[in-house]
Amino acid sequence: MMATSTDTPGEIPGGADATEAATGERRLERFSSVQVYVHGTIALCIFVLYLTGLPMTFADHLGWLFAIFGYGNVVLLHVVAGVVFITVATYYLLYVLLTGLFGPGRIAALPTRRDVSEAIGYVKYLLGRGEKPAADKYTWLQKGEIWVLGVELLVLSVTGLLLWYRGLFVSPEFRAALGGHEQLADVLLLIVRDIHVVVALTMLMGIAFHLYMVNVKERFPFNRTMFTGDVSASRAKHHWADWADEQLEGDADAGHDETPVPSRRTLAVITLALLAFFAVVLLSTLFAAVLSPLPTREYLLALPFDPVTHGAASVVFFVGLNVAVLLIVAGALAICYGLAKRLRGEF
């Protein structure tokens, strides 16, 4: 999440004292309360948008959601979640800009020249030609995630609003402005719809990658930092050494990093599952929008039938899409649970 760095060096956030007292380990504030609640609200909205948007795109495999909740209710919930997301995102953008311009901190997620050298150093590290470069509050990869997801969410917001107010495309004024090319209005509507679907499904892979990096690579099996807002000094030194040094005011004794890590076998299984998920989503995107320009999906460019709904491959898509929905539900429940504990002061 794009954030402003307003931390006082060595500051212990609210709720961290109890954890520190229990473990004897120093903790650093990584996210403010505003960032925690905004991140949680936006994440919950995104999960709800996927939970309601996927059945509208893949009704053949996920139509059971319509049978349970009703088509109109699913669409309404999709719209409500979208409006809440845009409202919260706009608030946070203003918060970041005002804090960065008039506050004592800086916008930590802004790209810098350092990120380029850090990325090059990281590639050398992967190739065994150097040490892992020290990172600031956000690594070059985390900044990349923030900006890519930010652009995708902006595109989804704009196209979502256009689809919501699709009366624009069928209005007599708009069609008259096309100078007799009224069919162009229908084509434009389909283009907006396809852009919305393609970007949404592409972003789903990005979100899965983000969850993988945070909950598998950074702290296994569950990273509570998004709810607590704090991080142990030892873990901070391991992942964001320069930022940790700044917060610790040069105190080199941050303790030994004992962050739980998955076994090689577990890591391999999770990684393969992630790649399989990527394959299902990527192919679904191609068949749902790129190779199928019409919403009815009755015509597929260069394909005699729709593999998503016909043939042996349809079983794979059925299982993959339904597993994705179940994981989205689990993610939404986890966010609600974490935010509830935060509100009760348990985090």
Is 151 within a domain? yes
Domain count, the chain: 1
Cβ-in-10-Å burial (0-12, 13-18, 19+) of 253 comes to exposed
The C-alpha atoms of residue 305 and residue 311 are separated, in whole angstroms, by 9
| Amino acid 253: pLDDT | 59
Reply yes or no on whether the pLDDT at 91 is more than 90.
yes
Reply yes or no on whether the pLDDT at 226 is more than 80.
yes
Reply yes or no on whether the pLDDT at 8 is more than 70.
no
* pLDDT, tens digit, 9 for 90 and up, residues 120-164: 999 999 999 999 999 999 999 999 999 999 999 999 999 999 988
Residue of 144, 156, 271, 160 whose CA lies nearest to 204: 156
Helix, strand, coil proportions of the chain in percent (round to 5)? 70, 5, 30
Is 66 within a domain? yes
Q: Which residues pair with 230 in a beta bridge?
A: 29
Residues contacting 145, CB < 8 A, separation 6+:
206, 209, 210, 213
Query: What is the rounded radius of gyration, in angstroms, for the C-alpha atoms of the chain?
Result: 23
Residue 129 lies in domain: 26-241+260-344
Higher pLDDT among residues 194 and 4, named by residue: 194
Is 273 within a domain? yes
Higher pLDDT among residues 185 and 237, named by residue: 237
Higher pLDDT among residues 294 and 241, named by residue: 241
Is 21 within a domain? no
Is 16 within a domain? no
Higher pLDDT among residues 116 and 166, named by residue: 116
Is 4 within a domain? no
Q: What is the mean pLDDT of residues 272-286?
A: 89
The C-alpha atoms of residue 292 and residue 288 are separated, in whole angstroms, by 6
CATH number at residue 154: 1.20.950.20
Reply yes or no on whether the pLDDT at 329 is more than 60.
yes
- Calculate the average pLDDT of the chain: 84
* CA atoms within a 13 Å half-sphere pointing along the CA-CB vector of 257: 17
Higher pLDDT among residues 256 and 309, named by residue: 309
Higher pLDDT among residues 24 and 328, named by residue: 328
Is 296 within a domain? yes
Reply yes or no on whether the pLDDT at 193 is more than 90.
no
Asked, as a colleague might, if the bond just before 293 is cis with ω within 30 of 0, I would say: no
Reply yes or no on whether the pLDDT at 252 is more than 60.
no
DSSP string, 273-290: HHHHHHHHHHHHHIIIII
CB atoms within 10 A of CB 157: 16
* pLDDT, tens digit, 9 for 90 and up, residues 21-57: 455 678 899 999 999 999 999 999 999 999 999 999 8
pLDDT-based confidence at residue 14 (cuts at 50, 70, 90): very low
Higher pLDDT among residues 322 and 290, named by residue: 322
Size (the chain), residues = 347
Q: Which one of 35-44, 191-200, 304-313 scores highest in mean pLDDT? A: 35-44
Q: What is the mean pLDDT of residues 303-315?
A: 76
- Residue 96 and residue 2 in contact, taking contact as beta carbons nearer than 8 Å: yes
Q: What is the mean pLDDT of residues 270-287?
A: 88
Is 249 within a domain? no
